[in-house]
Amino acid sequence: MTSHRKTLSGGALIVLIILFVALMLVVNVLFRGARVDLTENNLYTLSPGSKEILSKLEEPVNLYLFYSDKGTQNLPQLRTYATRVRELLEEMAARSRGQIKLEVIDPLPFSEDEDRATAYGLQAVPVSNAGETIFLGLAGTNSTNGQSVIPFFQPDKESFLEYDIAKLIHELATPKKPVIGLVSNLPIGAGFDPATRQMRDPWAIQQQLSQSFDVRELNPGGIKSIDADIKVLVLVHPKNLSDEAQYAIDQFVLRGGHLLVFVDPNAELDTSGADPENPQAAMFADHSSDLPKLFKAWGIEYDPKSVVLDRALAVAVSMGQGGRSVRHPGIIGLTAAELSRDDVVTANLDGVNVSSAGYFGLGKDSTSKLVPLMQSSGDAMAAASDRLKMLPDPSALLADFKPSGTRYVIAGRVEGKFKTAFPERSEAGHLAESKDDGQIVIVADTDVLADRLWVQVQDFLGQKLMNAFANNGDLVLNTIDNLTGSSALISIRGRATSQRPFTTVDALKRSADDRFRAKEQELQGELQETERKLAELQSAKTHDQQMILSPEQKSELDNFVKRKTGIRKELRDVRRSLDAEIETLGSRLKFLNIVLVPLLVTLVAAGFAMWQVRRRKSS
């Protein structure tokens, strides 16, 4: 009987194993590719924009991740990030319906793989004084021998990791140079300069645009329609555009075209109104630009007669050759703090210079969304643009400076479902409203494009060398590069990172630093007060007593030394209390992780086991 039961138990076990294997095979077939993202910030869940780009791949794309696995054995942080990169690439490959072929390569030193990585243009980063280098970059190719690379994945740019990879895939899927339309009322391109009676060189920004894009220049006075193959339309200083031209721009935006607009309350390089016989004519001419009809329809507020003055970010300018330097609040040096860290266009820029810039807002009933890209500091005010004309001394602008406390939006993205500015039109193909949400990038300055604010161009052996001292050019190229992508690519925003900072510890440190600085300021204030009292006592002494401390001076000095010792002790106590708080927090976390959680798990397991024993006894 016992033998028979053992045979049945063995047979049942075999049947269960067969059923389990069969179930796994069925699950593998039915749920192949299914994934569950349990991370806090959904790090491995692709954004809708990435999914759309991957779903539209019609040709195979080969991706080669060059990662020095052996060379990063002693770099745990970089290894963790490399795993994050590889897993994201694997997720994209899994979502591509087989169109993306991913290969992970470890380019060992002096190997053919290392030569291959270098040939693609990947960046080898040194990690030791002995000259050892590592690779963590991506190269991609398509069926037409097109190539695109990410030279090195930088951990501090993790928030834009998905965008960078999606952009590379999008470029390989659409290998032709994007076409952009350029409408400018400023002399950006090469041409004849009537002032010097010589041919002028194109601006540096025009040369850079021509290298990266297929630039199609459009005559501002002859625009009747925008060709369908133009991905981005760039308007520079649009002045007095005809209704026909504005209607063409209006319909371009409504059918999904992307627009970049540079307007200005005072375009300093506007040559309209110039008269060689009257040099002052150009100074008093109207050098502002605006798109009032279109801006109103899109819910944008902009005053072409107002400029932003910024006392905190004022750039120092020279008052003539050999003259003194004066801070000019109308010329603003925007730093990284004034540039959006959450937008791919400005996230990696360090500084942008603008001059006599305006600002934007949204209308009262606007349904659009204005996302700031560049803002002034809080120490800024709005002023009439006429104050910048015929200004002999820029410091005069600071005489009656009254900051408003507002951070003025100098550049931003306008997002929303736009309506036409010409509801009365009814010709064939007329659109009254955009089908999908659109995007417009607006900049309230045209001088941002001028060479003098961001680049030095030098002639060296017949070659033009550009030495950029600000990121103005990067701003323009990044914006157009972003807008030339599909709407799916533009929709990909910065993501959360996999790093988990100790926010509580950081808050404790900030609090301690604040207390420490307060004590330091108290000590400095008492020092200054003591020095003042000593100076008063010294001035009251006769000439022959100058080198001798009076009893009052000695007493004051002794009191300060005692107080100084006391404050230094208080500073040490602040530091010790910080260390004690952090130590207490660490001990609490250790207790939770090492003692309490395992104890709870053990108790739950023991309770479940006891319940099982009682259940068997009762049955």
Residue 534 counted as domain residue: yes
Tokens representing 209 are 């645009």
Q: What is the mean pLDDT of residues 253-272?
A: 92
Residue 491 counted as domain residue: no
- Percent of the chain beyond pLDDT 70? 74
Residue 520 counted as domain residue: yes
- Whether residue 184 sits in one domain with residue 153: no
- Whether residue 439 sits in one domain with residue 359: yes
- pLDDT score of 476: 94
Residue 149 counted as domain residue: yes
- pLDDT score of 495: 47
- Whether residue 207 sits in one domain with residue 257: yes
pLDDT-derived band at 496 (thresholds 50, 70, 90) equals: very low
Place of tokens 């937008």: 343
DSSP string, 567-582: HHHHHHHHHHHHHHHH
Mean of all residue pLDDT scores within the chain = 82
pLDDT-derived band at 615 (thresholds 50, 70, 90) equals: confident
- Whether residue 411 sits in one domain with residue 296: yes
Q: 52-56, 495-499, 543-547, 548-552: which has the minimum mean pLDDT?
A: 495-499
- Whether residue 155 sits in one domain with residue 235: no
Q: Is 333 within 8 Å of 351 (Cβ atoms)? A: yes
Helix axes 161-173, 76-95, angle to 10 degrees: 40
Q: What is the mean pLDDT of residues 579-602?
A: 73
- Whether residue 398 sits in one domain with residue 255: yes
Domain-terminating residue out of 149, 173, 197: 173
Which amino acid belongs to residue 486? Answer: S
Q: Which helix (H) or strand (E) segment is 421 a member of?
A: none
- Whether residue 512 sits in one domain with residue 462: no
Domain-terminating residue out of 131, 154, 173: 173
pLDDT tens-digit profile of 1-18? Answer: 555 555 556 666 677 778
pLDDT tens-digit profile of 220-259? Answer: 888 989 999 998 999 999 998 999 999 999 999 999 999 9
Residue 164 counted as domain residue: yes
pLDDT-derived band at 393 (thresholds 50, 70, 90) equals: confident
Domain-terminating residue out of 455, 484, 513: 484
- Whether residue 247 sits in one domain with residue 184: yes
Q: How far apart are CA 539 and CA 167, in angstroms?
A: 73
- List, in order, residues 6 or more apart from 540 with CB less than 8 Å away: none
Q: Would you say how long the chain is, in residues?
A: 619
- Whether residue 120 sits in one domain with residue 139: yes
- pLDDT score of 201: 83
Residue 278 counted as domain residue: no
Tokens representing 172 are 């390989």
- Whether residue 58 sits in one domain with residue 125: yes
Higher pLDDT, 407 or 156: 407
**CATH number, domain at 144?**
3.40.30.10
**What separation in angstroms does the CA of 220 have from each of 209, 223, 288, 290, 296?**
19, 6, 16, 14, 21
When divided into structural domains, the chain yields a total of 3
- Whether residue 368 sits in one domain with residue 344: yes
Residue 489 counted as domain residue: no
Q: 215-229, 274-288, 595-609: which has the minimum mean pLDDT?
A: 274-288
Q: How far apart are CA 50 and CA 518, in angstroms?
A: 49
pLDDT tens-digit profile of 522-549? Answer: 666 666 676 666 566 556 555 555 455 5
- Whether residue 582 sits in one domain with residue 455: no
Which range marks the domain in which residue 366 is found? 179-269+283-484
Exposed/middle/buried for residue 571 (C-beta within 10 Å: 0-12, 13-18, 19+): middle
Residue 165 counted as domain residue: yes
**What separation in angstroms does the CA of 234 have from each of 165, 249, 442?**
26, 10, 10
pLDDT tens-digit profile of 542-586? Answer: 555 545 556 776 776 667 666 666 666 666 666 666 566 666 766
Output the CA torsion sign for 331, 336, 342, 344.
positive
Backbone angles phi, psi at 360, to 5 degrees: -120, 160
- pLDDT score of 418: 94
**CATH number, domain at 289?**
3.40.50
| Structure letter (DSSP) for residue 276 | T
